[in-house]
Amino acid sequence: MYENKLPETGYLRLKEVLKIIPVSKSTWWAGIKTGRFPKGRKLSERTTAWRVEDIRELVLKLSVQN
């Protein structure tokens, strides 16, 4: 699984996140609005990234639900 290949810490861009959580971009952004997915961090005006720790936690949460 992808979570085993993730670095211990750091940030992931949306393209990398969607390889791990296979949903569309619009589904991802809608999930953020509803609280299903974690909010990203603005690294610059046009750059958002997600903490590896938050994505790892989300993968665990989703695997428990299934």
Give residue-wise pLDDT tens across range 16-35.
999 999 999 999 999 999 99
Separation CA 61–CA 42 (nearest Å): 24
Indicate if the pLDDT at residue 1 is higher than 70: no
pLDDT score at 65? 80
Separation CA 33–CA 63 (nearest Å): 21
Residues 45, 48, 52, 53, Cα dihedral to 10°: 80
Strands lying side by side in the sheet with 11-13: 11-13, 47-51, 41-44
Structure token pair of residue 18: 């969607």
pLDDT in tens, 31-58: 999 999 999 999 999 999 999 999 999 9
